[in-house]
Amino acid sequence: MPNQSSSKTKSDKKSKTPSTNPTLSNPMLVNFSPEFLQKVQSASQWQDIVDLICKELKLPDINTRSGLRRIHKDFDTIQRMLNVLYATSVTDVIAAGVVALFGELAKDGVLLERLIKEAGFLEIAVKMLDDWNSIRKPYIMMIIETLCRTICSCERDLCPQVAEKAAPMLMRLLEDRPFPESDRGEIALKDIVVFALSHCVRPLTPVEEGQKPSPVLEKLDTKRLTRLMVSLARNPRYFEPVFRCLWSSTYSCSSAFWATPSAIDFLVACTKSTQFDTRNSAILSLLFLYAPIEEPDDQPIYMSEQFMVELQQKLAVAPASIRSRIAERGANRSETSLIIQTWSDCEWEMSCIIDAPSPDWVSLGHKLVEWILRSEYIPNGAWLDEDLKTRQHWPCTTFFDTLPYCARVLRARTQSPEYQNKADILDIKYLILTDELKRASTMAQNSLKRSPEVAFFYHAASIGAEPKEGLRFSKKGLMCPDLTDRVRFDLLYRASWHALGLAQMKILVNSVDEGYAFAMSALEDSGTYIRECPSDSRRLRTVVCIHALSLMLVKGPELTAKSPELKNVQEMLDWVDEFAKFEGRHILRARERFATITLLRRLDHAWVEWASVLRQADAYRGAHPMHPQNTDEYLATLLDRTSLQDSEIYPEGESKKERYGLEPGGESSSDLYRCSWCGMPSAVLKRCKACEKARYCDEACQSRDWKGHKKMCGKKTDKSESSPSAA
């Protein structure tokens, strides 16, 4: 029988009051001791409050690895405990302390995801900020700081959830709270709210072309967001976060920009910033703005019989201004004249060969190559196709089939390089006509291994190539001998197109000096095209736009709509539109054209509105203009890292030709990026070991440049060269 003392002990244990404080085994809260509340109220630092809560709740040490492992293990219990603490908190400081503790836990990436998805961390923070009028400023500051850290740390797949919860509240805070300029605390608070909103929204704005924007972005009321951002942009201190948010959202939020003209003016004005990367982003934003309404360039690369007949009729009655403009660089160089001549020659030659008892396919093959190199647009042969089908023993069923057939005949006739090259040209053109561009490019690259001096192969290899490869092929092609106008101008067009695209990509990834070199290449090649091409060139409109965008990228701060360079661009655009209407051609809705027109029409007005803001923003950011001398030291360091493994390559090559699109003269940063032979811009050119001055894309360029370079090179090929007798 148990004694009395033992019975009393058990009774006392049963009647003991349960713990009023939460623990891992008992997460439900009842109340806190007055001592704890007093310590929390008197704490001067948020870290002290977090430590007090952890101690009171008997949580593991969140500053150690072992403590965090325990948090991971008991996460469900701990997050429930903190949510109950928040729900039953008697003071704002404890509620804010819970948010601060969540923020500390959010430094662990895995915990951050669970806090957002399972613990309702965002809902708690946003709910407190919704009552910002009744909460002390330090609490608001801490909560927003915690949100900023969370937004910057979360993985991309969490961004929509973060933005959906936090962005509307941050927008309302910026719209409704006065933030007096005289209160430094309020200004500091506004700074962090702007920063948080920008980081909250920006991950949602980039959208791949053809894809729909995030549903969260549509829920945010992007028109309201754009208006708010524009109003914030008028304060130079907010330029950086606002600009980053706006320029990246023109594609996904294009309707919001059309509803907010001042937002478009802001981006146009930014093309005159002294910051090279800002100008680049502003130009890209205008291109993205028009991407949703762009039409594909699907015009055929051959002419229909009806179009040719109508074109000849129009030319016969064309106004004198049109005829003189077409012929201003020589009637025999006019693209329209060459198209008509090619059509006439083709029609005559095919009529003769069809009626001949024994067709001369070799002669026809030579003629076809001549037409291909003369004009991009060849007849489609529709007037022959029906006739060919009725002829027995005729090897071709359509006019286009004559190209590969003649190629086979040329190859069978002789193995000479001339015949092999012409056969390849015919096959490549046939692949282009049948839209097999990848096969055409592959075949052209194989042909270059045999005949690296044939420009047409470089032209074909550049079609559909990646920007860097496309630019490399175009630049090498421009150095080939015996260039026809058709091939040369097509190579200049592709060189400027690829160079501008590469410049924009390099600047986006902070390779500013290399981006400058590509931008200069685009500017110079497009300028050469405009100065020397026939006025009726089909590529002229696109190249004029490339030139205008390159001008703004390189010289933006110096230009106004009345600058001679931009006035010339406007005149050229007016002319190509006039000629397109004369021909009866549809003017495509191309993003480059719309972006250029927007710049020309809005530049002066936009600069008047935003000049003071941009000047202050550039000064605030410590801006400096991009000039060639800024990059010399960087380039020397970069280029010193590479040299040719074998510099003993001294074959006799062709003498150096004029570099199309490159100005002769002194060395600049963009020259240091250029291959000494072909002019290809690159940050990883290989130096000649002999003189350490010439730089080349590869050994092929070094070999071809050797005849001209050896006179300046500091190393002789052998001893006899330097001896008096040898001289």
Which tens digits make up the pLDDT trace of 614-634? Answer: 999 988 776 434 343 333 333
**Per-residue model confidence as pLDDT tens digits over 529-560:** 999 999 999 899 999 999 999 999 999 999 99
pLDDT at 657: 34
Write down the pLDDT at residue 385.
58
Q: How many residues does the chain have?
A: 727
Give the C-alpha distances (Å, rounded to integers) separating 650 from 94, 460, 713. 80, 29, 11
Does 570 share its domain with 708? yes
Regarding whether 332 and 281 lie in a shared domain, the answer is no
Shared domain check, 661 and 568? yes
* Residues 682 and 548 placed together within one structural domain of the fold: yes
Domain presence at residue 114: no
Number of domains in the chain: 3
How high is the pLDDT of residue 17? 37
430 with 377, same domain?
yes
Q: Is residue 132 part of a domain?
A: no
**Sheet strands (E) in 270-320:** 302-303
Query: What pLDDT, in 10s, does the model give residues 566-583?
Result: 999 999 999 999 999 998
**Of 236-245, 263-272, 481-490, 671-680, where does mean pLDDT reach its minimum?**
671-680
Retrieve residue 220's tokens. 């945010």
Q: Last residue of a domain, which of 410, 435, 460?
A: 435
Verify that 616 and 601 share a domain, yes or no.
yes
**615 CB contacts (<8 Å, ≥6 apart)?**
none
**In the predicted model, is pLDDT for residue 595 greater than 50?**
yes
More confident site: 382 or 230: 230
What's the pLDDT score for residue 188? Answer: 84
Work out the angle at residue 322's Cα, subtended by the Cα atoms of residues 320 and 324, and round it to the nearest 5 degrees.
65
pTM: 0.81
Locate 319 and state its tokens: 């106004």
Residue pair 379/399 in contact by the 8 Å Cβ criterion: yes
Instruction: Specify whether 271 is located in the same domain as 406.
Output: no
The reply to whether 282 and 431 lie within a common domain is no
Q: Which of 228, 330, 662, 356 is nearest to 479 (CA)?
A: 662
- Minimum mean pLDDT range among 29-33, 242-246, 371-375: 29-33
Helix (H, G, I), strand (E, B) or coil at 252: coil
Q: Is 309 within the bounds of a domain?
A: yes
The pLDDT-based confidence of 659 (bands split at 50, 70, 90) is very low
416 is a domain residue: yes
Confidence of residue 470 (pLDDT cuts 50, 70, 90): very high
254 with 310, same domain: the answer is no
Domain ranges, residue 718: 505-579+639-727
* Residue from 341, 283, 346, 284 nearest 312 by CA: 341
With respect to residue 697, please indicate whether it lies within any of the assigned structural domains: yes
Residues 688 and 662 in one domain: yes
Closest CA to 260 of 285, 290, 224: 224
Most confident of 37-41, 461-465, 629-633: 461-465
**What percentage of the chain carries pLDDT values higher than 90?**
47
Residue 441's pLDDT is what?
96
Question: Which single residue is written with the structure tokens 């704890």?
Answer: 36
Tokens of residue 380, six digits: 């489609």
Q: Which among 400, 435, 470 is the end of a domain?
A: 435
157 occurs within a structural domain:
no
Question: Contact 100/146 with Cβ under 8 angstroms?
Answer: yes
Residues 512 and 656 in one domain: yes
Q: Are residues 287 and 308 in the same domain?
A: no
Distance of alpha carbon 673 from alpha carbon 680, whole angstroms: 8
Among 390, 409, 435, where does a domain finish? 435
- Is residue 93 in some structural domain? no
34 in a domain, yes or no?
no
Mean pLDDT over each residue of the chain, to the nearest integer:
83
pLDDT tens, position by position, 384-437: 656 666 665 677 777 788 899 999 999 999 889 999 999 999 999 999 988 899
The pLDDT value recorded for residue 604 is: 95
Dist. CA 79–CA 115, nearest whole Å: 8
193 CB-side CA count, 13 A? 27
> How far, in Å, are 11, 301, 382, 463 from residue 436 at the CA level?
92, 13, 21, 11
Structure tokens, 604: 């002066």
Lowest-confidence pick of 189-193, 426-430, 704-708: 704-708
